Amino acid sequence: MENIYLTLALSPLIGSLIVGLAGNRLGRTLSHTITILGVAVSTVLALYVFNHHVLEGGDVFNENLYTWMQIGSLNISVGFLVDNLTSVMLVIVSFVSLMVHIYTIGYMVDDDGYTKFFSYISLFTFAMFMLVMSNNFMQLFFGWEAVGLVSYLLIGFWHGKESAVEANLKAFLVNRVGDFGFLLGIALLLAFFGTLDYAETFALADQVNGQTIFGDMSVITVICLLLFVGAMGKSAQVPLHVWLPGSMEGPTPISALIHAATMVTAGIFMVSRMSPIFELSDVALTVVMVIGAITALFMGLLGIVQNDIKRVVAYSTLSQLGYMTVALGVSAYSVAIFHLMTHAFFKALLFLAAGSVIVAMHHEQDIRKMGGLRKKMPITYITSLVGTLALIGFPGFAGFFSKDMIIEAVHFSNLPFAQWVYYAVVAGVFITALYSFRMFFLVFHGKSRVDRHTEEHLHETTSSITAPLIMLAIPSAVIGYFTIEPMLFTGWLDNAITINSETHGAVAALKEHFHSAFALITHSVMTLPFWMMVGGIGTAWLFSLYRTQWADAIQKRFRRTNYVLESLYGFDRFNEIVFVRGSRKLGDLLWRISDMAIIDQFVVNGSARFARFVGSVIRPVQTGYLYHYAFFMIIGLMLVLTWVLVSGDNPLIRLGS
Amino acid sequence: MIALSDYLILSAIVFCIGLAGIFINRTNIIMLLMCVELILAAVNTNFIAFSYYGNDVAGQIFVFFILTVAAAEVAIGLAILTLMYRNRGSIDVDVTNSLKG
C-alpha cells in the first residue's frame, strides 16, 4: 500500500515540476495532458484507497517513511496516516482537482500563463495531499503553508492587475496571523507532549489534560484555541475572513478548487483530525461553535448585497464554512466532514458555473448586467440550478442532508450559547436561500440586461467547461442521499474521530432520531429550516423578479443597514485604520527610534565616532619618530626599575630611613 | 658615611639626565655630545664606586681608559661637526637626515 500512497501523493508533483520547468517548450496540449494525467492517476488511486479503507475496512496505515530531521530526541518525519477520514478527503480533493484541471483547458484558453497555471494547480493538489495524509504536525504545517503559498501565487496570478496584487498580499498577511497562532499551538503542544506525531500525541492527551499554564488556564484549551486560530485563518472565520472575498481576484478555477472546495476546508479537516484533543476542552469547543455561528450568519447577510457573481459565491462559501465550524463546535466532526464533502462538490460546481457565465459574458461579473441567460446557456443553467438547490438545502439534494444534520446537531448540543447558535444557523438557511436565488434569478431569469454587443456572441461554453459542470452536478445532487447513513451513523469515520459521547452527545442523539435518508426528506416539510428555505426562495423571487423596484425601495428605506452591509461591517476599514496604518506608524516609529537613532546614530556612526575620538586622544603618542619610541621605552624601563628599587616588597633603597 | 647605594643613585640620575638629554634635545649636535659625556660620567662613577667598595683598583684603571677614549671620541666628533657645519651651514640634528628613507 505504501507505494500506492506515494504514487498518489507524488504524481501531481511530478506533473507540476515537468510542466513548471519545461512548460514553454512542451506547448499547451502536452502541458495540460501531463498535469491532468498526474491528477487522474491520483484520482484513480484515491478511489482505490477509499475502497480499500472505507468499504473493505482495511487497516489504518500509519508509518514514517523518511526522517526529515532529528533534533535531539525529537524526530521529525515525513509519514502517512491514512485512515477513513484521509481516504474521504483524498477522494474529494483529487476529484474536484481533476474536474478543475479539465475545466481550466476551456477557461484559460486565451491566457498567456496557461502552462504556469496548470503547474500551480497540480502543485496545489500535491500540497493538499501532503496536508491530509500527514501523520505529524510538522508535515501538516508543511502542507498548510504550501497550500497557502500556491493560493497566494494564484490569487495574484494576473499580477498586472493592481487589485489582484493587493488581494494576494492581503490573503498572505491575514494567513500569517492565523499561521502564527497555529505555529504557537504546535509549539505549545510540543512543549507539553514532547512529540509531534498524531498517534503519540493523542495517546498522551489524558496525561496532559488537567495541567495548567498562565495561572489556571488549561493547557489543552490554550493549545486548542491556538490551533483554531490557524483554522480561522485558513478556513476564513470571522475576524480573519477578510482575505477570502479578495481572493476572488484570481482566476475562477482556483476560486473553485482552492477558495471553495479544498484549501479553505483544511481548517475543518485539521480540527476533525485533532478531535481527541478538542474533545477535552469545552471552552475551546464553545469558542469554535460561536465563531462558526457568527461567520455563518453574518457573512451570509453580506451575500445579499453583493453584485459581483463571484463575490456572492465567496460570501456563501464563508457562510458554509461557518456551518462546518459550528458542527465542529458541537462535536459533530463527522457531520462537519460530511458537509465539507457535499459543499466541496456543490460549491465547486457553483464557482465553475459562475466561471462559465463569466467566460460567456466576456469577463463581465456584475449580475445586474446579466439576466435571461437560461435559454442561451442551458447546461450551465441546469447545473447551476442543481448547485443552488444543493447549497440552500433543498430536500433530496446533497446540501440538504448535511446542513439539516448540522442544525439538528446544534439543537441537541448542551454547550452554553447553543440555543443562540441554533437560531443563527436556522436564520442562516433563510439567508442562504435568499442570496443564492437572488443571484440565480438575476443571472438566468428575467429580462436580459446584457449589452447588445455581448448578447450577439452569447452562447453555451465549450465542452471542457460544461463536462466538469455535469460531472460535479451528479454528486451535488445525490451524494448526500447515499452517504449520510454510512458516514454519520454506521462508522465510516469512526477510526479517525473521537467523540466523548457522555458530555457531547449531539451525534449520539442524531443517531437515535435517524431512521433513513428517505424519511428525512419526507419529514423535512414539517421542519422549520424547510420553511425558512422556502421563505428565502420566495423573498428572492419577489425582489429580484416580481417587483424589482421594491428591492430599491427597501434599500432606500433601510439606508443605514444597507450601509453597514455594503461596508462589510467595516472589517476592512477597521483593519485599514488599526492594522495597516497602525503598523505603518509603528514601523515609522521603529524606523526613527531603532533604525535611525539606535542603529544608525548610536551603533554604526557611534562606534565610528568612538574610534575616531579614541584615535584623536592616542594619536599624538604615535609620532612615527623612532627616537620618541626609544625614549618612551627607556623612560618606562627606568620608572619600573625605580619603582622596584624604591617601593617593591623588599626595597633595595629605603628613602628617609 | 656615604653608602654605595648613594653613589649608584647619583650615577643613575646622571645617566637618566644624559639619556633624556639625547632624546629630548633635537636641535644641537654639541648638546648630544655633551649628553654622551654625561652618560660616560655616570658609568665612570659606577666604576669608581664599585672599585672603592670592592677593594679592586682595576675599576679605577678602567676609568682612565674610558676618559681617554671619551676625549678621543669628542675630538673626532667635534672635527666631524666642524666639517659638517662647513658643508651644510648648520649643526641642527633635524637637518642631518639625508639617510632617512
For residues A118 and A39, give the distance between their C-alpha atoms in angstroms, rounded to a whole number.
11
State residue A130's pLDDT score: 93
Question: Cβ–Cβ of B20/A630 closer than 8 Å?
Answer: no
Residue A71's φ and ψ, nearest 5 degrees, are -115, 105
Phi-psi region of B50 (alpha: psi -120 to 50; beta: other; left: phi over 0): alpha
What does pLDDT average to over chain A? 88
pLDDT confidence of residue A57: 83
Q: Has residue B9 been placed in a domain?
A: no
**Model confidence, pTM:** 0.79
Q: How does pLDDT run across A250-262, given as a tens digit for each residue?
A: 899 988 988 888 8
All three cell numbers of A39? 491528477
Q: H or E stretch including A547?
A: none
Predicted confidence (pLDDT) per residue in A536-585, tens digit: 999 988 888 888 788 788 888 888 888 888 888 888 888 888 888 888 99
Query: A608 Cβ partners below 8 Å, 6+ apart?
Result: none
Residue B22 within a domain: no
B79 touches chain A (CB under 8 A): no
pLDDT in tens, A445-483: 888 888 888 777 788 888 888 999 999 999 999 998 888
Q: pLDDT value at position A655?
A: 61
Which candidate, B15, B65, B21, B22, places its Cα nearest to that of B43? B15
pLDDT of residue A217: 84
Is the confidence at residue A648, as pLDDT, over 80?
Answer: no
Residue B13 inside a domain? The answer is: no
Is the bond preceding A245 in cis, omega lying within 30 degrees of 0?
Answer: no
- Look at residue B7 and tell me if it is in a domain: no
Say yes or no to pLDDT of A304 above 70. Answer: yes
**What are phi and psi for residue A217, nearest 5 degrees?**
-80, 135
Kindly indicate the confidence band of residue A652, based on its pLDDT and cuts at 50, 70 and 90: low
Mutation target vs B (from A653, A654, A655, A657; most B CBs, 10 A cutoff): A653
Interchain CB contacts (distance < 8 Å): A and B: 14
Cell numbers linked to A427: 436564520
Q: What is the ipTM of this complex?
A: 0.73
Question: Rounded to a whole number, what is the distance in Å from the CA of B26 to chain A's nearest CA?
Answer: 10
Residue B8 lies in a domain: no
**In which residue are the cell numbers 483547458 written?**
A105
* Percent of chain A predicted with pLDDT > 90: 42
More confident site: A425 or A545 = A425
The 3-state secondary structure of A464-521, one letter per residue: HHHHHHHHHHHHHHHHHHHHHHHHHHCCCCCCCCCCCCCCCCHHHHHHHHCCCHHHHH
Tell whether A631 is within 8 A of chain B (Cβ): yes
Cβ-defined contact of A653 to B16 (cutoff 8 Å): no
CB contact at 8 A, A271 and A337: no
Are A406 and A451 contacting, i.e. CB atoms less than 8 angstroms apart? no
Residue A617 confidence (pLDDT): 92
Give the contacts of B75 (CB within 8 A, at least 6 positions apart): none
**Quick check: is B73 in a domain?**
yes
Judged by a CB distance cut-off of 8 A, whether residue A71 touches chain B is: no
Report the domain count for chain B: 1
- What whole-number distance in Å separates Cα of residue A69 and Cα of residue A257? 32
For B23, which of A631, A652, A653 is closest by C-beta distance?
A631
pLDDT digits (tens, 9 = 90+) for A562-572: 888 888 888 88
Which cell numbers in the block locate residue B89? 651651514
The C-alpha atoms of residue A283 and residue A223 are separated, in whole angstroms, by 11
Asked if A630's CB is within 8 angstroms of B24's CB, the reply is: no
Higher pLDDT, A228 or B89: A228
Please tell me which of the candidates A628, A638, A653 has its beta carbon nearest to residue B16: A638
DSSP 8-state assignment for residue A9: H
Distance linking the first and last C-alpha atoms of chain B: 54
**For A598-622, what is each residue's pLDDT tens digit?**
888 889 999 999 999 999 998 888 8
Query: Which pLDDT value is given to residue B101?
Result: 62
What's the confidence (pLDDT) of residue B75?
Answer: 92
CA A432/CA A532 separation, integer angstroms? 10
First to last CA, chain A: 103
* B40–chain A nearest CA distance, Å: 17
B20: in domain: no
Per the structure, the complete domain to which residue B50 belongs is given by 27-92
Confidence of residue B65 (pLDDT cuts 50, 70, 90): very high
Closest Cβ–Cβ partner in A627, A652, A653 for B23: A627
**Above 60 in pLDDT, residue A657?**
no
What are φ and ψ of residue A110, in 5° steps? -105, 30
Cell numbers given for B39: 652618560
Please give the Cα distance from A14 to A7 (Å, whole number): 10
Residue B40 lies in a domain: yes
User: Grid coordinates standing for A184?
Assistant: 504557537
Confidence band for A656, pLDDT divided at 50, 70 and 90:
low
Pairing of strands A61-71, A74-82: antiparallel
Cβ contact A631–B24 (<8 Å): yes
